Chain A
Amino acid sequence: MIKSELIQRIAARNGHLYQRDVETIVSTILDEITLALARGDRVELRGFGAFSVKRREARTGRNPRTGEQVSVDEKSVPFFKTGKEMRERLNEAHG
């Protein structure tokens, strides 16, 4: 499922809204999550999962192709932890 399909599915269930409005709703939600992570905040959506930011220290890495040493700056990376309900739903049929 890609973003446009997500929008179509929601629009199909909400006939009173234009697809354009549903598009805005979806992008508002994703933007809000992005902004929160950019601030360093955590986004916790019970049952679904939680988005957070993890810091990676600067390190000396290697170009795997040439073996050359390169310095890698410190950076922050997004992280998603699956929610309990989703984890359970994914594994309930598999005993």
Chain B
Amino acid sequence: MSQNVSEKALPAVEDLSRDEGAISTNSTSTTRTASAHHTVTRADLADAVHRRIGLSRAESGEFVEAVLSEIFNAIVSGDDVKLSSFGSFHIRSKGERVGRNPKTGASAPITARRVVMFKASNVLRARINGQRAIED
């Protein structure tokens, strides 16, 4: 029972610091902040639904999937999707054009294709910049 530095569960980091380091490199918190940007996935969304509505985790996961696939199908079928205070998705058709391989410089044709455009709402833009929405 020496110094137990763990504030929260940091399994990997804790293991390292336990390796009788003569000089304490109190890097525990630094490691955390360095990798502070983490990736949110379907599981996190399902967890939020579970916490908010109280549906089982399994059912919450199914609803996340249902919402995403409903949006997916609408976009893929060419329907514009507008989610107020979040943003909108629409399809843009791009014509064929001549591109270049950036590595070799050789020109290569780029075929006509359809791409998804996402336009974030003013509310979302404002939230990302730590403000309240100006107008939407």
Query: Mostly helix, strand, loop or mixed at chain B's interface?
Result: mixed
Interface residues on B, range: 35 or more
When each residue 61-75 of chain B gets 1 if its CB lies under 8 Å from chain A and 0 otherwise, what string results? Answer: 001101110111011
| Residues of A contacting B36 in the complex (Cβ-Cβ under 8 angstroms) | 40
Against B, the Cβ 8 Å flags (1 = close, 0 = not) of A32-74 are 1110111111111111110101000000000000000000000
B39 contacts A29, C-beta separation under 8 Å: no
> What's the Cα separation between A1 and B129 when bound, in Å?
27
B44: interface (CB < 8 Å): yes
Bound complex: CA A28 to CA B67 (Å): 11
| A9 CB-CB contact with B under 8 Å | yes
In whole angstroms, how far apart are the Cα atoms of A78 and B83 in the complex? Answer: 15
Inter-chain contact B116/A43, CB cutoff 8 Å: no
Contact call B68/A48, Cβ cutoff below 8 A: yes
Which residues of B6-49 have CB atoms within 8 Å of chain A's CB atoms?
36-42, 44-45, 48-49
Decide yes or no: A6 and B71 within 8 Å by CB, A24-B53, A29-B64 being known contacts. yes
Smallest CB-CB separation from A2: which chain B residue?
A: B82
Contacts of B89 in A (CB 8 A): 80
Complex CA distance for A40 and B129, rounded to whole angstroms: 10
Nearest residue, chain B, Cβ from A35: B127
B67, B85, B87: most-surrounded residue (chain A CB, <10 A) = B67
Q: Which residues of B contact A (CB under 8 A)?
A: 36-42, 44-45, 48-49, 52-53, 63-64, 66-68, 70-72, 74-76, 79-87, 89, 91, 111-116, 118, 120, 124-125, 127-130
Q: A78-B124, A94-B114 are in contact. List 6 more A-B contacts (CB 8 A).
A: A28-B52, A30-B85, A79-B118, A80-B118, A86-B116, A90-B114
3 closest residue pairs by CB, A with B? A80-B118, A78-B120, A36-B40
